[in-house]
Amino acid sequence: MSPEHATLRRSNFEQFDEEKRVVAHPDGTLSADANWHGSVSGDECRAMIVIPAVVLVLAVLLATALVANLLRRRRWLAWGMGLGACALVIAVLVGLAGGPLRTSLLSLDPSIEVAILGRVLALTPTNQPALIMLSLAALIVIGFAPAAGPANNFYSLGLGILALLATSLMVQPLPYAAFAWQASATVAVFLIQGDRAGERSGQAALRYLAAFTFTLPLLLLAGWLSDQARSLVPEAAQLAQAYNAPAALIAAAMLLLMGAVPLYSWLHLVARDAAPPVTALLATLVSGTVAFLWLSLWEANDWLRDSALASGILRFSGIALLVISMLTAWAQPSFARWLGSALFAEAGTSLLLMQPRSPLEVEAQVLGVLSRALALALFAAGLHRLRQQCGSTRFDALSCRPDSWTLVTLAISGLSLAGVPATSGFVWRWLLARGLGESELMLLVALSSASLIGGLVRGLSAALGARPSAVVDASEAVSDGLNSKTDWSPRLLAAGAMLSCALGVVPTPLIELAAAIARGYTFYP
């Protein structure tokens, strides 16, 4: 009996219109005819248990989140589990890059797709590196989190959000990623409010939830409209016009997700009201996922690349965010609000890279995700220490001079967020300048950075000018490990600051990694 061939047709975006052959073997097993991962023969399937890699990745993250939630009061254990889960996911995904992983009993196959409610979860050559980078960014933020005093549920909810955002990158057709986004937003509500019950972060959580809720209709309608445009419009000349609406809807959805809508952004509210590590985690993971989701869409849909409207919306929003950051960063009254301006600048710069025409721009986007993770994780730790020691992050209300570790951490991570040379934040801006090649835009980026540096210098001057006698709440200090004999957070912060500077001075390994990911895309002219 010869193998029968079944055909799986996917709809919505063009990426999923390819027809993929699924080979049905006489023994009843199925193997995908994927040409990039190879295939498993029927005999091999019989001898071992085949696990879809998609299932393993999600199961590791979700199961660890569950256990970490049960053990949330043992913070060090939860922290170790968070780090372990991210590291395991990275190791598995890196191992799968060369094809299925096999032992005598188990086989981990990346080519097997999992169908849920008519949608498909799959690992592809484009989302696999994205998942690695996202997990790496989460690893960095979680790694430095103990120094930032997170709430008990930080690790479990953080892993849950990572799992849902990973799902959004793996789901096909891509518009249905909106459901995973929405689910991640509901989890984020609990995280944003996590350690601030009774304070104002309810407003930030509500804005975050509302922004993500708006993206659901936009993405689903965009998927339907693109299908309609392809199937109903016969004239090639009219086709470009018909694709304008879905392209604009997708661009608007990306802006809402990134918090890049100037008058309706979740970025500054979360930066102001949520705990620092929460801000770091959400800003890092969400901006990273949006960047990679956009690259996937850009790779798969030539109508999106041809849409002047979508490019115009993103470019205009990027410029608007940089202008807002330039005008406001230097005048911010507190470190927490300065962080909001820095996030605006990061989002604006990232948006300028969302019409990539060369590998350099993709490399800059990829490096931006990692650099942002490191800088935000360190800044969050600095903010936490400042609040613990001085009772406030307001420049005019610092009741004491913070210790030198806090100042150094705030300075180096702040300068990295501003993109100053010899920090990791400079590397991706340098690649941006080379890839973009537009002097006016680079001037805007430089002015925004200058404004951020001005605000940071004001804050650091205020901290240095404060009374040197430190007034620290002893009970909090002991419970958090600050200033105690066993406190090793200064060492952690020192390592982070040195890492940031080292990556700024010797960025070659990171650039090679980013270049390898950029080579995976084929949309360059």
Partner 1 sequence: MRPRVAEFRELLSQVSQVLILPLLLGLLATALLVSVVRNWRIVLPTMVVNYAVVGLMLARVIDPLISLSRIGTGAVAIVVLSVAAQRADDMRAARGESVARERLAHPQWRRLASQLLLRAMVALFAFGAAFGAASRFPLPGEARELGLAAYVLLAVSLLLIATAPEALNVGVGLLMLFSGFELAYLPLEPSIGVGVLMALVTLLSGLAIAYLVQLDVAVGDQPASAATAWDAFEQPDVS
Q: Nearest distance from residue 210's CB to partner 1, in Å?
A: 6
Dihedral, 291, 217, 209, 75 alpha carbons, nearest 10:
-50
Q: Nearest distance from residue 37's CB to partner 1, in Å?
A: 26
Judged by CB under 8 A, which of 240, 392, 434, 478 binds partner 1?
392
Q: By CB under 8 A, tell whether 215 contacts partner 1.
A: no
Q: By CB under 8 A, tell whether 397 contacts partner 1.
A: yes
Among 407, 379, 381, 387, which Cα is nearest to 476's? 387
Helix axes 53-70, 154-170, angle to 10 degrees: 160
Contacts of 232 (CB under 8 A, 6+ apart): 242
Q: By CB under 8 A, tell whether 66 contacts partner 1.
A: no
Among 306, 231, 305, which Cα is nearest to 11's? 231
From 16-24, 85-93, 213-221, 308-316, span contacting partner 1 (CB under 8 A): 213-221
Judged by CB under 8 A, which of 118, 234, 468, 525 binds partner 1?
118
Residues 316 to 355: which contact partner 1 by CB under 8 A?
Answer: 334, 336
Q: By CB under 8 A, tell whether 117 contacts partner 1.
A: yes
Q: Nearest distance from residue 176's CB to partner 1, in Å?
A: 7
Tell me the β-bridge partners of 51. Answer: 108
272/372 with CB nearer partner 1: 272
Contacts of 383 (CB under 8 A, 6+ apart): 148, 276, 335, 336, 339, 393, 410
Distances (CA, A) of 14 to 62, 115, 522: 31, 19, 15
From 22-30, 38-46, 194-202, 420-428, span contacting partner 1 (CB under 8 A): 194-202
Q: By CB under 8 A, tell whether 262 contacts partner 1.
A: no
Contacts of 330 (CB under 8 A, 6+ apart): 451, 452, 454, 455, 458
Judged by CB under 8 A, which of 185, 252, 270, 314 binds partner 1?
185
Q: By CB under 8 A, tell whether 224 contacts partner 1.
A: yes
DSSP code for 28: S
Q: Nearest distance from residue 142's CB to partner 1, in Å?
A: 23
From 15-23, 113-121, 253-261, 407-415, span contacting partner 1 (CB under 8 A): 113-121
Residues 29 to 48: which contact partner 1 by CB under 8 A?
Answer: none
Q: Nearest distance from residue 475's CB to partner 1, in Å?
A: 15
Q: Nearest distance from residue 214's CB to partner 1, in Å?
A: 8
- Contact between residue 132 and residue 56 where contact means Cβ atoms under 8 Å apart: no
Q: Round to whole Å and give the CA distance between 127 and 121.
A: 11
- Contact between residue 431 and residue 442 where contact means Cβ atoms under 8 Å apart: no
Judged by CB under 8 A, which of 65, 151, 183, 295 binds partner 1?
183
From 37-45, 292-300, 395-403, 442-450, span contacting partner 1 (CB under 8 A): 395-403
Q: By CB under 8 A, tell whether 476 contacts partner 1.
A: no
Side chain identity, residue 500: S
94/471 with CB nearer partner 1: 471
- Contact between residue 283 and residue 210 where contact means Cβ atoms under 8 Å apart: no
Q: E strands of 147-227, at which residues?
A: 171-172
Beta-sheet pairing, 171-172 with 114-116: unpaired
94/331 with CB nearer partner 1: 331
Q: Round to whole Å and give the CA distance between 273 and 285.
A: 18
Q: By CB under 8 A, tell whether 153 contacts partner 1.
A: no
Q: Nearest distance from residue 399's CB to partner 1, in Å?
A: 6
Q: Is 471 exposed, middle or buried (0-12, 13-18, 19+ CB in 10 A)?
A: exposed
Q: By CB under 8 A, tell whether 312 contacts partner 1.
A: no
Distances (CA, A) of 397 to 177, 394, 423, 453, 469: 44, 5, 29, 20, 15
Q: By CB under 8 A, tell whether 399 contacts partner 1.
A: yes
90/204 with CB nearer partner 1: 204
Q: Nearest distance from residue 385's CB to partner 1, in Å?
A: 15
Judged by CB under 8 A, which of 391, 454, 481, 520 binds partner 1?
391
Cα three-residue angle 87-90-96, rounded to 5 degrees: 140
Q: Round to whole Å and give the CA distance between 217 and 282.
A: 22
Judged by CB under 8 A, which of 9, 35, 103, 198 binds partner 1?
198
Contact residues: partner 1, CB under 8 A: 117-119, 176, 179, 182-183, 185-186, 189-190, 193, 196-202, 205-206, 209-210, 213-214, 216-217, 220-221, 224, 228, 272-273, 334, 336, 387, 391-394, 396-397, 399, 471
